[in-house]
Structure 1
Amino acid sequence: MGENLRKYNEVFMNIFGAAESDLSDSFTFENVHKWDSLAHMALISRLEDIFDVMFETEDVLHYGSYLNGIKILERYGVDMKA
Structure 2
Amino acid sequence: MTSSPSSSASLEHRLRQVFVDALQLPPGTAVEETHYQSTPTWDSLGHVLLVSTMENEFGVEIETERSLDMESFQVALALLKEKGAE
Q: Give the shorter-chain TM-score range.
A: 0.7 to 0.9
1:18-57 pair list within 5 angstroms: 18=25, 19-24=27-32, 26-57=33-64
Q: Deviations over 1:25-74 (max 9, x none)?
A: x3101320111111101100010011100111211111111111001111
Offset, 1:21: 4.5
TM-score of the two chains, using structure 2 as the length reference: 0.78
1:6-21 pair list within 5 angstroms: 6-18=13-25, 19-21=27-29
**Residues matched between the structures, number:** 78
Q: Distance in 2 between matches of 1:45 and 1:77?
A: 17
Find the residue that maps to 1:54 and give its secondary structure: coil
Asked if structure 2 preserves the Cα contact closer than 8 Å seen for 1:13 and 1:20, the reply is no
TM-score of the two chains, using structure 1 as the length reference: 0.81
Structure 2 residues not aligned, in runs of 5+: 1-5
Structure 1 residues not aligned, in runs of 5+: none
